[in-house]
Amino acid sequence: MTQAGALTAGAEWRRAPVLPIAAGLGYATSVIHIYGLGPYIEPISQSFGWSRTQTTIGLTLATLVQALFSIPIGLMVDRLGPRLFGLVGVLLTTSAFAMLGTANGDKTQWLMLWSLLALATLPVQATVWTSAVASRFAASRGLALAVTLCGASLAAALFPLLGSWLIAHHGWRTAAPMQAAIWVAIAFPMIFLFFRGAHDRRGKEVLAERPTLTGVTMGEGLRSSIYHRLLLASLLFTFTIIALVVHFVPILTSRGVSPMAAAGTAALVGLFSVIGRLGTGLLLDRFRASMVGASVFLLPAIGCLLLLVGGESWMAQAAAAAMVGLTLGAEVDVIVYLTTQHFGLKTFGGLYGGLLMALSIGTATGPLGASALFDATGDYGPFLWLTIALMAGSSLTLASLPRPAFATGGS
């Protein structure tokens, strides 16, 4: 814990009331290429005569690069503070996303555009936003992280709708730069004004409150079996849940739903993920985090069953979107919270960087795996069954964790 642990939850929010919101907008920026890709998959595939595997392979490349650099970026955030990374990264990421609109059908150029996006997103990875919030909140860390990570919920709700509307009215080539411009105009001013962690120097007042962080060393964390289980749970979870989010619109359109109607249903994922995040944040501050995570990680299995059994019904589709959204809302919240509770904050950036590597590998391979299964079978059914199995494995892994050593709430 930090010195902030001496403050009440109310005092922490009075000291930094807008920080989690600004961090949330930054976190949304970090997933614009993930949650915003869905509406572009079909028109790009049709424009160039590509398979969906070819269209989504760039996302795999981007997230694998992020995985490779997750630990180094985390260690740099531990040393330098997150503010500079966030400010530069938001501008780079939105600019690189805009450039996807310049794709001309050449597969090498497509990979180059995604390589540029991969590098641009390195300074906005989750470590940057969560480390700042974790360093300023202890008594209300679960809720503060939940507000921050609602950025992904906002992204899941807004980006598919915004992208679908822009594509319908302007075509996908123009839609990409327009979407990027709209988002940077919203996010950057808030981040510039309000995003500062405890290690970001800003005059004598902030420097005086800069805390001494306690926790395990990097080596101790990497050798821990608890850390290994968190790695496994992260990998299994993101492989399935991110693929579900990326392919949710195509899953519905493959059942005859119109693109705009599918995007509207997919928006429920984002809306319910807000409920999931805030609800999970409150639960994490009051109950054992591993059991909270194990419970909510089973919800996508129910959603997949609904799509398999009653996928032609709008009610089943909406309920599935709600289940996916509720768990999406708990995803990183649970992993981040468990990392701080089992290992402290001394080397949080580096250790979470390792977990982010697993999260990134799952993000990279999941959408591609779903594309490959669809291309091979012409149906999303096999992927939905695989999701049920992997989510059950992730839930059991979290349930096996012992009580934490650096507990700050009900855990």
Distances (CA, A) of 15 to 208, 314, 333: 14, 45, 22
According to the model, what pLDDT value does residue 6 have?
61
Q: Detail the DSSP E strand segments found in 169-250.
A: none
According to the model, what pLDDT value does residue 117 have?
95
As given in the structure block, the two tokens for residue 193 are 């004004």
According to the model, what pLDDT value does residue 408 have?
57
- The answer to whether residues 278 and 149 touch, using CB atoms and an 8 Å cutoff, is no
Place of tokens 């503010």: 83
Domain chopping of the chain, boundaries: 3-399
According to the model, what pLDDT value does residue 385 have?
92
Mean pLDDT, 10 residues at a time, the chain of 411 residues: 60 91 95 89 93 86 83 84 93 97 94 95 90 86 84 83 93 96 96 87 46 75 91 89 86 83 84 82 83 89 88 85 84 82 82 83 84 87 91 91 70 51
DSSP lists the bridge partners of residue 215 as 344
**Domain 3-399: which topology?**
Growth Hormone; Chain: A; (1.20.1250)
- The answer to whether residues 331 and 397 touch, using CB atoms and an 8 Å cutoff, is no
Backbone CA torsion sign across 240, 246, 248, 252: negative
According to the model, what pLDDT value does residue 204 have?
40
Give burial (CB, 10 Å; 0-12/13-18/19+) of 105. exposed
